[in-house]
Amino acid sequence: MPMPYRLWIAGLVMSALAPGAAAAFDSDHPAALVTFPYVVVNPSQGVDTRLRLVNTDDELLDVVCGLENTTAHCESGARPVCDTTSDCPIGVACVPDLKVSRFAFQLAAGQPIGWPLSTGATLPLAQNGDPIPAAPESPMRGVLRCFAAHPDGSPSARNALVGEAVVERAGETLLDVASYNAVGAQAHAAGLNDDRTLVLGGANGEYDACPQTVSVNHLFDLAHDPIAISRSLQTTLVFTRCNADLSRENPQNSGAVLQFLVHNEFEQRFSTSNTFVGQMVSPMSLIDTRIPDRSIFSATITGTLSGSTTIRAVGGSVMGLALEKRLGSDPTQYSTAAYNLHSSGQPDTPAEIKLDLRCPGRPRPDCRRARRSRLMLSDRARRRVAWEWKRGELLNLSEIGDPDDGTAIAICLYANDEPRASIVLPPDAPNWRRSRDALTFADKSGSFDGTRTITVTPANHGRGRVTLRAVGERVPALDLDGDTAAPVVIQLLNDRTGICLESVFEPDEVIEDSPHLFDARSVVPE
Amino acid sequence: MATHRDLMCAVLAIALGTGAAQAQVSSESSASILVFPKIVYDGSRDTLIQIVNGANSEVHAHCWYVNGAPTFPDLPAGPLNPPTWAMVDFPITLTRNQPTSFVASRGRLSAPDDPACNLEWPRTEPLPPIVEANYDCYGAGIDPGIVPPMPLGFTGELRCVETDAAGFPISGNHLTGEVMLVDAASGDATRYGAIGIRGGLDNDGDGALRLGEEYDGCPQALLFGQQTDGSEDPQLGAGSSVENELTLTACSIDYLTQSPQSVTVVFEVTNDLAQRLSTAASLDGWRTVRLRDIDTIFSAGVLGAPVAQTRVDAAHQSMSGILGVVEEVHDAGAGRVSAAATNLHMAGTRTAVDLITLP
């Protein structure tokens, strides 16, 4: 395999020398997006993770976080937690899950906050907002990603966040503390938009790119520590994909193929590869074999104490962490040191973090306008929104994604370019029904912001049609005051395609504007 | 042949491009200067240092240990008890992609006949006479050169500067490093990454390394979040405590005159109620100190909070920036202690030039 190896080396050299290698995707500098690649809680082992997040800026900062629970479960009965299939009954697989829980808070100027993953926390200042939720299950492990945001939840380019995690194992006879810094990606102020997808790297990158390769300097497994000679060494590597989907509670769990290139102190090199889904947490000497002393990550094979391993994700990018353990004769008495990985280069494909669909702070400028529209807003005892978008360009349903198959929909209302109200149907909203020529959402309970019906009817020759009806207390406050600043804009967005639909009502198109009713019709000349 | 030439041109063009953009100092990118701010050999703890050549070619470097232990080790450090500032230097050579490591107390001798790994521990039978025990594989591999051992009581720093074969500094940006601080008795260990300073195109190769011109500039400020000094360990509760030990080193250092660079350091502490307190202290080239020994403002009692962040700035009139690392030390009582080191976050870049003067 000499030729592929040369290409692999050439790739590493190029990536190490490329200007992108100097990009600030690291744990050293304040950033707008920070990731804790490994958070864990396990009460039976006395393990908890204390997370700290600091606003280093001199102004108030909104923060939005997504906790990805990657805990694996046995695919049977009560679905007990497992690490490997050997933890499950015979014939039952251990399957990694992926569940996302989101939370948001505010940090005052210079304010640090800290919380244990196990319990979450009530934040110290009233302005901080809602409590941080506890770990969704216990034991659990996962990834925490947080980004600087504007008050409306849209991403902000303020590179003001730093974070630290302290993973502690404590009990009557135990005390083992390891800490690492959250990995940060700095935002590019000019490139940041509000399309609810954070793009890391690439020509139109909004944040610094995730690295093309990461490398870890380590001591080989099974060697003894030269200082505490009775302790043998074992390093666990943790990897998570740079891509993430924080838009839904149960996103599709994806993985990556990792290529490992190992060097020892004899100038010898070894390589292997492995795959993971969700999050990889594995002792190095179990990456290439189930027998550690046969592993290319063990001192028995490499013959030296010190090693260096470069890791590349095929067709993507990963970030990670190393946990170095010093094991004694008592398997429960070990010491752990956590440390961040080195990184270099930029991958060909930018990484993306998908956020839950929300209405942007201002109307999108590029939406398809219907030739005939009607909007009626009622703020009486029963709030009511009725919108008709008629005779517009909508050729087929795929243009707005597939709302019945995981596409989120948002209806955004603006007055004089200021947000007034929003209705969001999450990607896993039920009650969508597809017929031969239309897609219909019908929900008598109005669970999603009071939405009762949405009908989407594509057609040729600019005769597409969308109608919306939302009624009841769950409809967001419309704040009608009889003096609604025109123009009034209502837009339908989705999180799958870039296409949005809109109606715009100018002042002379308003039929009624009272403290309880807004009614307008719009006709765009052909 | 033309294809090879084109490829070489492309590689060179990309390589030269590195110099154009001065990056920020980082512990995670390969660099031309590595700073290991905290090296300890005090009888209970010892330090394992790891350096890796990330290049696909041989790389040379020259390293300096500097002992920052006070002249009178039993007395507190201060103006009347300055650091010993004893320096020891040595060259190393790493073959392509070679990792190497050495323990501060043991150094590493250039011995081609280092014994191979012998990992059985503890042994049930004595080894044959011709086999030497080497449970830790220590010394196995291509030796990087002779690394001298440090004396008992050493607490200080190590810096390595990438050079060409003749010993002149170059902007190769091939080195990464790590440090493991290990308690020999308990086995408690912690790691941090060497701080890397990347070289640029304008490196004239002389003995005056200008940080901010030839190399990345030192950071304007250092930041770290902390469990406040004297607070309880949240998991262990009553009877436990947490303290933080901060180690700072001046970016500028003069290996020629061997005189430490004095820096006035300003600390600004913000608790989780967003209340701020500040204080100042000085360091003579290098200092490691528990936060509570700097000022009471770092204590949980004064801050009234279990969590805080500290911003550390070199005072405006100081002639040098600073780098550092922090260790959070948890004490459960009855001798159960565990420490966790992390690199400090770095904000901004100094406009002033810091100088590393080589002999």
Report whether B40 contacts B154 (CB < 8 A): yes
| Chain A CB contacts of B346 below 8 Å | 28-29
pLDDT at B273 over 60: yes
CB distance A116–B309 less than 8 Å? no
- Tell me how crowded residue B74 is: count the other CB atoms within 10 A of its CB: 6
Asked if the C-beta of A312 comes within 8 angstroms of chain B's C-beta atoms, the answer is: no
- Average pLDDT on B103-108 reads 96
* Low-confidence spans in chain A with pLDDT less than 50: 1-23
- Residue B2 — very low, low, confident or very high, per pLDDT cuts 50/70/90? very low
Model pLDDT, residue A12: 44
Residues in chain A, how many?
Answer: 526
Pairing label, strands A372-379, A368-369? unpaired
Q: Please give the interface size between A and B, counted as residue pairs whose CB atoms are below 8 Å apart.
A: 305
Question: What's the CA dihedral at A112, A37, A204, A495 to 10 degrees?
Answer: -90
pLDDT at B261 over 70: yes
Q: Which amino acid makes up residue B167? A: G
Model pLDDT, residue B125: 54
List the one residue out of A280, A246, A243, A277 whose CA is nearest residue A101: A246
The tokens of A157 are what?
Answer: 């380019």
| Chain A CB contacts of B43 below 8 Å | none
CB distance B141–A304 less than 8 Å? yes
Chain A residues 430-449 with CB within 8 Å of chain B: none
Chain A residues 247-306 with CB within 8 Å of chain B: 263-267, 269, 299-300, 303-306
| Chain B CB contacts of A231 below 8 Å | 187
Q: Is the peptide bond before B122 cis (omega within 30 degrees of 0)?
A: yes
- Residue B21 — very low, low, confident or very high, per pLDDT cuts 50/70/90? very low
- What is the helix, strand, coil percentage profile of chain B, to 5? 10, 45, 45
Asked if the C-beta of A337 comes within 8 angstroms of chain B's C-beta atoms, the answer is: yes
Q: CA A261 → CA A12, A381, B178, B264, distances in Å?
A: 10, 67, 19, 45
- Average pLDDT on B299-310 reads 96
Pairing label, strands B253-254, B354-357? parallel
Question: What's the CA dihedral at B179, B183, B189, B192 to 10 degrees?
Answer: -30
List the one residue out of A207, A169, A172 whose CA is nearest residue A33: A207
Q: Is the peptide bond before A139 cis (omega within 30 degrees of 0)?
A: yes
In DSSP terms, which residues pair with B107 in a beta bridge? Answer: B103
Report whether A315 contacts B1 (CB < 8 A): no
Distance from CA of B81 to the nearest CA of A (A): 30
pLDDT at B32 over 70: yes
Distance from CA of A3 to the nearest CA of B (A): 15
Asked if the C-beta of A26 comes within 8 angstroms of chain B's C-beta atoms, the answer is: yes
Model pLDDT, residue B354: 96
End-to-end Cα, chain B, rounded Å: 44
Residue A49: closest C-alpha in chain B = B235
The tokens of A202 are what?
Answer: 């690439």
Asked if the C-beta of A60 comes within 8 angstroms of chain B's C-beta atoms, the answer is: no
Residues in chain B, how many?
Answer: 359
pLDDT at B12 over 70: no
CB distance A344–B227 less than 8 Å? no
DSSP 8-state code for residue A27: S
Model pLDDT, residue A381: 78
Q: How big is chain B by its Cα radius of gyration, in Å?
A: 22
3-state DSSP assignment of residue A307: strand
Chain A residues 165-184 with CB within 8 Å of chain B: 166, 168, 170, 173, 175-181
- Least CB–CB distance from B137: residue in A17, A18, A305: A305
- Average pLDDT on B169-192 reads 96
DSSP 8-state code for residue A500: -
Model pLDDT, residue A17: 40
Report whether B326 contacts B247 (CB < 8 A): yes
Distance CA B269, CA B345 (A): 15
Model pLDDT, residue A332: 82
- Average pLDDT on B124-130 reads 52
Distance CA A158, CA A148 (A): 6
3-state DSSP assignment of residue A11: helix
Tens digit of each residue's pLDDT (9 = 90 or more) over A456-475: 998 887 889 999 999 999 99
pLDDT at B20 over 50: no
- Average pLDDT on B110-130 reads 61
Model pLDDT, residue B23: 64
Q: CA A95 → CA A98, A277, A465, B341, distances in Å?
A: 10, 9, 43, 34
CB distance A181–B345 less than 8 Å? yes
Q: Which amino acid makes up residue A258? A: L
Chain A residues 354-383 with CB within 8 Å of chain B: none
Model pLDDT, residue A15: 43
Tens digit of each residue's pLDDT (9 = 90 or more) over A67-81: 999 999 998 888 899
Residue B47: closest C-alpha in chain A = A227
In DSSP terms, which residues pair with B229 in a beta bridge? Answer: B299
Model pLDDT, residue A400: 82
Chain A residues 108-147 with CB within 8 Å of chain B: 108-114, 116, 124-125
Distance CA A130, CA A64 (A): 12
Distance CA A369, CA B295 (A): 64
- Residue B133 — very low, low, confident or very high, per pLDDT cuts 50/70/90? low
Distance CA B208, CA B355 (A): 6
| Chain B CB contacts of A260 below 8 Å | none
Percent of chain B with pLDDT over 70: 88
- Average pLDDT on B46-67 reads 97
Distance CA B343, CA A28 (A): 7
Between B226 and B121, the higher pLDDT residue? B226
> What stretches of chain B show up as alpha helix (H) in DSSP?
2-20, 291-294, 300-303
Model pLDDT, residue A249: 84
CB distance B342–A112 less than 8 Å? no
| Chain B CB contacts of A24 below 8 Å | 23-24, 26
List the one residue out of A505, A507, A444 whose CA is nearest residue A474: A444
Tens digit of each residue's pLDDT (9 = 90 or more) over A185-202: 999 988 888 778 899 998
